[in-house]
Structures are given as C-alpha cells and as structure tokens.
Chains A and B, each alone.
Chain A
Amino acid sequence: MTAVLLASAGTSSFPVLPALVVTPVLGALLVMVLPRRRPELLKLVAVSTAVVTGAMSFWLLSAFKVGDPGFQFLSETPWMGDLGVSLLFGIDGISLFLVILTGLLFPVALLAIDPGHDARPYYAWMLLLEAGVMGVFGALDLIVFFLCFEVVLVPMYFLIGRWGHGNSARAATKFFLYTMAGSALMLVGILALAFLHADATGADISFDLVAIAEAQSLSTGAARWIFAAFALAFAVKVPIFPLHTWLPDAHTEAPTAGSVILAGVLLKLGTYGFLRFGLYLFPEASHYFAPVFLTLGVVGIVYGAIVATMQADLKRLVAYSSVAHLGFIILGTFALNTEGIEGGLLQMVNHGVSTGALFLLVGMIYERRGTRMIGDLGGLQKSAPVLAGVFMVVMLSSIGLPGLNGFVGEFLVLLGAFNAHRWWAVAAAGGVILAALYLLWAYQRVFHGPAEGDNADMPDLGLREALVLAPLLALIVFMGVYPKPVIERMEPAVDSLVRHVEFHVDGFSEPVSQMGSEIGPLDDSHGEHG
C-alpha cells in the first residue's frame, strides 16, 4: 500500500516533511550546547532555525501540485516494526496551510519577544514545540500523530510555567492535565481502530491513516465509539464549549510568545484533528454526531462572545474571542459540505494570523504599560498612533470585515452552515455581531478617550516590532482581497473529503454542488493511492 503510495507520488527527492520536524530539533540541541551567557547568540540561532524551517514550509507552497486532492511530499521510514508503526509523513491541501502558518508564526514569535530570563531553555522549548506541531500536521500514521499531539504538551507546559505571569504554575498544570486526560482515550481508540481494521481486512497491523480510512472496515457501532474517543481529545484541544475552561487561564498566564503559538497553532491541532482524523476516518460517525458539534459550536460562538464582552483583562478578552472563533471553525467543519469545511479551514489560518497578531499587540502594550487591564488603559491612540492603527486592522480582521481575511472564512462557514442547517447559521451570525461589539468596545476603551498618566507618553511601535507585524498584516489584507491562491489549493482536498463523507453515509446527499457520485470518492480522489 504505502510502497505504491510512494512510487506514484514520485518523491524520491529531499524528504522535506521530516526535515521540517528534524530542523527545529537540531536547532534546539544546538541552542542547548551554546554558552548560557550569550543570549543574543542564542536568539540568533533560534530565530535562524525557525526562519529556515519557515522557508522550507513556504517552499512547499510553490512545490505543491495545485488540483491534486491526494497527499504529496510523502516519505516513510519504518519505526516500530512489530507494531506496524512507521514514520509516515505527507500533506494535502488541508494540512498545507497549517504547516505554513506554523512556519510563519514561530519566527515571528521568537523574533518579537525576548524571554527575559533563562533564554537557553526557552529557545530550546520553543523549537521543540515547533517540531512537535510540524509533526502533528505532517503525520499520516496514527501513532506518530498521537505522539506529536501529546508531546507538544511538554514544551508548552514549561513555556507557560516558567516564563508566564501570575499563577502560571497552576495554569500550566491545568493545561497539561486537561489535555492529557482528554487524549488518554484517543490512544485506546487508535489501538482499537487498528486492531479491528486488521481483523476485518486480514492485513498486518498498521496505523496507516489512508489505508484505514479508505477501507472503512469497522462496524457502525465500533466506529461511533472510537470516534467519540477521538472527538473527546480534539474537543479538549480545540477547545469546544464545555471543555474550554483551561484556555483562558493558559492564555492569560502564558508569556506573549506562548499565547501567540497557543492561539495561532496549538488550538488548530484539535480542529485539524477533527478534519483529518474525525471526518476522514469516521465519516458515518461524524455525520451521526454532527448535530452535537454544530450545537456546541454555536453555543461556543455566542458564549465566547458574551463572556469576552465582560472581560476586564485585554488578554483574557482575546482568549475568549478565540473560543468564539473556534466555534465558527467547528460549525463549518460539521456542516459537512465543501463551503463549510473550506471556510473552517480558512478560519483556522485566519484565526492563527489575526489572534496571533492580537496577542503580540497585547503583549507589546503590556511590555510598555505593565498592565493589561482595560480600565487602566485609555487614549493610547494619541501616544502610539501606529500601534493603534495596526490594532485596528487586526481587530477588524478578527471581526470579519469584508476586504480582510476574516470575512472570507466566516462567510464561507455561514454559507455552508446555512446550506446544511439553516437555524444554526442564523444563530451563529448573531455571534458575528457580538464580536463586533466586544472588540470595538474594547478598542474604544483602550485607544480612545483622554490619555492620563503613563498612557499619555507610551512609546509607539519600534522598528523590530513593526517588521514582525508586517508579514501578518500583509497576510490579513492579501487573504481578504485575493483568497484564490489559498482556496484553489485547499479545494481539491476538501472536495474529496466531502465526497468521502457523502459516499460512506447512507442517504446523505447535501449539498448539491458538484457531486461527482458516478465516479465515487474511492476511485476519483485517492485513485493513485489504491
């Protein structure tokens, strides 16, 4: 199976996906052997490692074959022979942009913020975190995916705990235990899935995602149970509404770089997991449970927005806005149509860029003023007009103003949700209005009005800060005005995923757009893998 996969994809060339994982690890090792007293050298090494990794991920964009719904850049190395685990990597249109987002945000976060103390372990943990995230987005073996999914907890735990603010040890522990408990059952689910698949097909035990997903050899009942085990892990990671309580604490106590990465990348592990390992592996169960997730998604949108409105801490406000945004992504994903999933996927990237930028800006305000309390701030526009302007653009993107990136994603999500489940879309649209409310209100209180005390002479953005924010701003505008390059790379993979779901769900026939059912997803989308 995988041999055919490799041969057909013709990737005897440089194994770029493993390199995306290995490079940051090497960087981290290098950082650990450098002298502790040279923070500038440490930073140089860390940033250049992240830049090299980022450059490789952007290279993927150019090398990516547009219009191919299958996995590209495949590479495989046997690992645990006895258990059939192999280091199998590959990306398609769904994971491509998340890899690129990771490659972009890490250099930005590393460049923008200095840790303040203990620079050496800080950079090492950041780079290991990047390696883990790249592993999650690239892995096509269930065990390897789980390994990377779990291992990112360790660097994040230390980043929050050691370099965070306030009661960071407690927040870090909460984050770690919450997510670890969530994913505990997923490992059992993965094992059950692989063994049941091996029993049903008579094949050797294997954790190959594509093979298991295309075979769909499980009984409906077993698939639903295993899906539930997976879904719990992803729901905690996203986080979906009742399981979100770790997020505000972790975000608020985390250092700025930690928040940027947490919001920008780590929250996507859950939503990506739903797409890649929920819908693809368990189409029938996803359809069966979709109403639950649609409802929780909408609840998250409204709840996140209302709670965000009430926050006195700017960082906590952004954290709760994440809950709302992730509700949109879940809504789009479980609309189970091309528009919804594409919108959700776009929102993943948008949220990473916009919320990442928002956390950076909040961090910059905090660095200058030593407080994030909205009540202590005010009139910052006068002393820091550039910062205010940037904040405005980012905030509008987060609200979903047409012409900026957030609009495209939200619009597609609402469109997809409307086609599939009208009333949920109507309720979610209310969340958009609430988002405008809490963000604009916060902006007004922080940047407008009379500036008193320290607020009057707050320094504006420095050159380094502006340079760090520039690529994010450029992306916000670019993706808002001209999303076609992104969408055309996503679409084939999303289309084939939707048809895969439709094909395996009896009597499920929405939406109507380009069904292609006379070919069927098996032969059409993954033909060259068979």
Chain B
Amino acid sequence: MIAALTTPYVAWWALVPLITFAVAGFLLLTVASLVRRLPAVLAPAWTAVAGLGVLLYLVPMWSRVGRDGADSFLAGTVGVDRSSIFVTGILAVAVIAAALISRDYLPREDLPGVELYVLLLMSAAGGVVMASANDLIVLFLGLEILSIAVYVLAALHLRRIESQEAALKYFLLGAFSSAFLLYGIALVYGATGSTNMVRISAFLAQNVLVDDAMLLAGLGLLLVGLGFKVAVVPFHAWTPDVYQGAPTPVVAWMAAGVKAAGFAALMRVFVLTLGTYVSDWRPAFQVIAAATVLAGAVVAVVQTDVKRMLAYSSIVHAGFILVGLQAATDRGNSSVLAYLAVYAFLTVGSFAVVTVVSGTGDASHGLDAYRGMGRRHPALAGVFTVLLLGQAGIPFTGGFVVKLGVLAAAVDGGAYWLAGVAMLAAAVAAFVYLRLLVAMYLEEVPSGTETSGAVPLGALVVAVASAVIVLVVGLVPGPLLDLARDAVPVLVAG
C-alpha cells in the first residue's frame, strides 16, 4: 500500500518571473559554454528580452492578483501580492537597462561577453525571491542568490585592481551582514517559534511576550543585515568604494536593483511581519534615516570622483526611502514603492551617462571628464541635467513627486522633525548635483581633452528613456502614484 504523497500547492503562474530569470541565465550559460563564438549581440539581447518578457508578463499577473487577491504557496513560504509584482517590475527594468549599458561596455573594455549577463539574470532571480518571500529563510535564500552574483559582478573588470578591491570589500562585509541577518532570523525564531512571516505576525498579534529581549535582539540584527544591503548609515561604508571600483553597468544594477530588493525585504520584515513592534523599531529607523540623509549629503559634497558622488547620493536616497518606510502605513509603503521606481530610472540613467563619459578603461570619473560636456555632447549633457535635477528633487521631475510622497508619509505620521531634516539634507545634496551642472555648462573644456567620439547606442537609449520617464512622471504623476497605491504589500497565509 503506497500512501499518497501530498505535495505543497504551487501557484506556477506566480513563479513565472523567477523561472524566466533563472532559466534564461542557465540557458545562456549552457549555450555560451557549448558554442565557441557567440555573436556579441546575443547575450545582451537575450537578457533584455528576458527582462522585457517578465515586464510584459507582470501585466496579466497584476490584474489577476487584483481580481483574486494576494496568494501564498509552497507551504506558505512564498507569497505573491502586488508589491512583489511592483518590485519585480523594477528589477526587470534594471536588468534591461544594465544589459543595454553593458552591450557596448564589455567590448570597449575587452572583457568576456557572457558572464555578466548570466550573473545579472541570477541576481535578478534572487531579487524576485526576496520581494516575494513569506518566510525569513526564503528571504535569506533570495538575498544570498542576489548577493553572491553581485560579489562576482563587482570583480568582473579583470584588469582594474579597483574592481577586485571593490569585490573583496563587498564580499567580506556582505558575508558579515548575511551572518547578522541569519543570526537575527534565528533569534526571531527562538522568540516566536516560527520563521514564517505570517505566523510570526499572527503570533505577535495574539501573544504578549513577557520577556522580549530575544525578539528585540533579533530585530536589531535583522536591521543590521538588511541595512547593509540598502546602504544606510552606519552600514554604508562599503558603498563609495564599491561603486567607485565596480564596473559601471554593474553599479547601475546594484543601485537600482539590489536596493529595490533590499527595501522590499525591509518592508516585508519590519512593516508587515513585525508591525506590532513598530513603536520599538520606529525610533531606530528614524535615527538611521536622519543620520543617513545628513551623512550622505554632507560627505557627498566633498567628493571629487563622480562615481563616489553618486554613491553618496544613493545613500541620501536610501535615507529618504527610509523616511517613508518608518511611517509603517499604507501611505508610507506606497511612497516607498514609488520612490524605488523613480529612483531606479534616475540611477540607471545617470550611470549610463557615467559609463559613456568614463571612457576606455572605465577610469575617468573625475569632474574634469565632465567639463565642457554641454558643448561637446549637448544631447547627453541635457539628458544628464534632467537626471541630476531629478535626483535633486526639483519640481516637475519624478524625483520631486516621490520625495513629496515620502515626506507626506512622514508628516502624516507626525515625524515633522525627520521630514525637516530630510529636506535640509536635500538642499545640501543639491550642491553635489549643481557641481556637476557647473562642470558641464559653466566651465571650459580643459585643454588636452580630446572630444569624445560617438555615444554608444545602448547607453544612450537607457539615458534618454530614463530622462523622459523622469520628466513624464514629474508632469503626470497620477499613473505611477496609482500603481504604487495599489501595490501596497500584504501578507496572506497559504
């Protein structure tokens, strides 16, 4: 007599994005190792198509979740709700952008042409897992899949010692932070008896812990582990070095994709799972957010390397996102999602321009390289201007709309001081973007700089498309805000 084996319910339709990224990566790896010479265009095109396919598939998925509600499967360890779809969309956009930027970058740097795309797809798959994890262990799996791929990506520029250095730093600190996260998960498990987010939140809603020291310690360790991934002060120290050293297209992915996945995880763990403990973690979040915007902005001002400037500016942005996140309300969550979306476009566009300007060797990142760009490359300079103004949060760009969103969430929650600090930091950070504008338009081309040649198509497409989207969102913010409002995350039991 053979007993029937009950396998857990799997909502295959909800796994399609994850499977697409993973299978596309494996297929690309297999084909590349079997076929001796692949056409150079194949790998980036393949990656972009995979991203585009995911993006298109998200549309019916979105309406299906809207109709049937959020779902959870694989014994309640993986969930699908509109927030995970939204973040997957951001990841897909970042994958497409990074692939397009890399298309011309790899031949220019004479680097092998397939590994980057494979790792990119793998890391995107990890991001999707993070965004839809309903269990802390699954979350950790996603984080590791994402991170390990990115460690390798950072080291991909074989001939730049800075690239190796960046990878090593990122790997060592990243391994530590993973350990923190895992230890935090263990402590939370010890305190609540489960690693399942739904069960943890139900347990905390129904029980009052007499001694919650273990839970609080776990909570703190979770914050350290995830705070490292999204680069908030004081876990940000790796960011400038890694951004500076890693290949620029990889940085675009790290800034847009990794950050989106990290914040999605923070939102699921803290706002959804540990929502009952909001009064315990909110003060910590507020202090971290204030420290992040201030430190990021102030230190950005004294940088001379553009990639480091953008690294610190990404820290400021992380602080802003945290300002929305600490509200722990629907308004806050939707503002975080909207911010992540616009920030993804701002940052991939900016790094696309940086990739072009950096020149062969990926080395000219000083302000000198940008001097007189307004004359040499008026179109590229114009696009970069839009993106920088967007990063500064100037009105009628998407950057302002999303800043308004997170500030509104903070003010709605009564955190006036935090909103004030964030705005002052934004004014300080504006100086950084102005320095770039000054270099591009108000300073003469230094003698000896030859005029750069044509702008590669892939990077140009990314930069122009990002700038257009940033402007459109700034002028017609309704659609994005509606999407983000509908994408408010929920945890449901399977």
**A interface vs B, CB < 8 Å?**
79-83, 143, 146-148, 150-151, 153-154, 157-158, 161-162, 168-169, 172-173, 176-177, 180-181, 184-185, 187-188, 191-192, 195, 229
Contacts and interface: CB of A to CB of B under 8 A. Distances in A.
A195 B412 contact: yes
Given A187-B407, A191-B408, A169 B431 contact: no
Nearest to A192: B411
Contact of B395 (A82, A150, A173, A177): A150
A184 B423 contact: yes
Contact of B481 (A81, A148, A185, A195): A81
B438 A82 contact: no
A146 B396 CA distance: 11
Contacts of A79: 477-478
8 contacts: A79-B477, A82-B482, A83-B405, A146-B395, A153-B394, A177-B427, A184-B426, A192-B416
A184 B485 contact: no
Contact of A83 (B427, B437, B481): B481
A154 B416 contact: no
Contacts of B482: 81-82
Interface in B133-161: none
Contacts of B407: 187-188, 191
Interface size class of B (residues with CB under 8 A): 20 to 34
B420 A169 contact: no
Nearest to B431: A177
A466 to B, nearest CB: 34
B408 A83 contact: yes
Interface string B420-456: 1001101110110010011001110000000000000
Given A81-B478, A150-B394, A161-B442, A177 B434 contact: yes
Contacts of A80: 401, 477-478, 481
Contacts of B394: 150-151, 153-154
Given A79-B478, A143-B404, A181 B427 contact: yes
Contact of A195 (B411, B431, B434): B411
Contacts of A154: 389, 394
By CB atoms of chain A within 10 A, which of B405, B416, B428 has the most?
B416
B337 interface: no
Contacts of B405: 83
Given A146-B395, A172-B442, A82 B481 contact: yes
A169 B481 contact: no
B479 to A, nearest CB: 10
Contacts of A195: 408, 411-412
A223 to B, nearest CB: 14
Given A83-B404, A173-B431, A161 B396 contact: no
A153 B401 CA distance: 17
Contacts of B431: 173, 177
B400 interface: yes
A488 B395 CA distance: 36
Given A181-B424, A185-B424, A151 B395 contact: yes
A173 B438 contact: yes
Nearest to A199: B412
Contacts of B167: none
Contacts of B423: 184-185, 187-188
B419 interface: yes
Given A83-B404, A150-B400, A157-B434, 14 more contacts: A79-B477, A82-B485, A83-B481, A151-B396, A153-B394, A154-B389, A158-B441, A169-B438, A177-B430, A180-B427, A184-B423, A184-B427, A191-B404, A195-B412
Closest 10 pairs between A and B when the two form their complex, measured CB to CB: A184-B423, A147-B395, A181-B427, A191-B411, A169-B442, A151-B395, A188-B419, A184-B427, A161-B442, A180-B427
Interface in B377-428: 389, 394-396, 400-401, 404-405, 407-408, 411-412, 416, 419-420, 423-424, 426-428
A184 B404 CA distance: 12
Given A79-B478, A177-B430, A188-B411, A169 B443 contact: yes
Given A173-B431, A184-B423, A191-B407, A161 B481 contact: no
B430 A147 contact: no
Contact of B442 (A151, A168, A177, A180): A168
A313 B405 CA distance: 46
Nearest to B397: A151
B434 A176 contact: yes
A173 B394 CA distance: 15
B326 to A, nearest CB: 15
A154 B474 CA distance: 15
A191 B431 CA distance: 24
Interface in B324-349: 334
Contacts of A191: 404, 407-408, 411-412, 419
B112 to A, nearest CB: 42
Contacts of A180: 427, 430
Nearest to A81: B478
Contacts of B334: 82
B396 A147 contact: yes
A146 B401 CA distance: 12
A147 B420 contact: no
A176 B395 CA distance: 14
A158 B394 CA distance: 14
A452 B416 CA distance: 63
A244 to B, nearest CB: 18
Contact of A147 (B400, B408, B441): B400
A158 B382 CA distance: 13
Contacts of B412: 191, 195
Nearest to A179: B427
Contacts of B427: 177, 180-181, 184
Interface in B463-477: 477
Contacts of A81: 478, 481-482
A153 B394 CA distance: 9
A176 B434 CA distance: 9
Nearest to B476: A79
Nearest to A181: B427
Contact of A161 (B411, B426, B430, B438): B438
A229 B420 CA distance: 10
Contacts of A172: 438, 442
A109 B420 CA distance: 37
B422 to A, nearest CB: 8
A229 B412 CA distance: 17
Nearest to A180: B427
A192 B407 CA distance: 10
Contact of B420 (A151, A161, A173, A188): A188
Given A150-B395, A177-B430, A185 B442 contact: no
B124 to A, nearest CB: 29
Nearest to A222: B416
A177 B428 CA distance: 8
By CB atoms of chain B within 10 A, which of A80, A161, A176, A187 has the most?
A187
A455 B407 CA distance: 58
A236 to B, nearest CB: 11
A253 B168 CA distance: 49
Contacts of A157: 434, 437
A103 B394 CA distance: 25
B332 to A, nearest CB: 13
Contacts of B401: 80
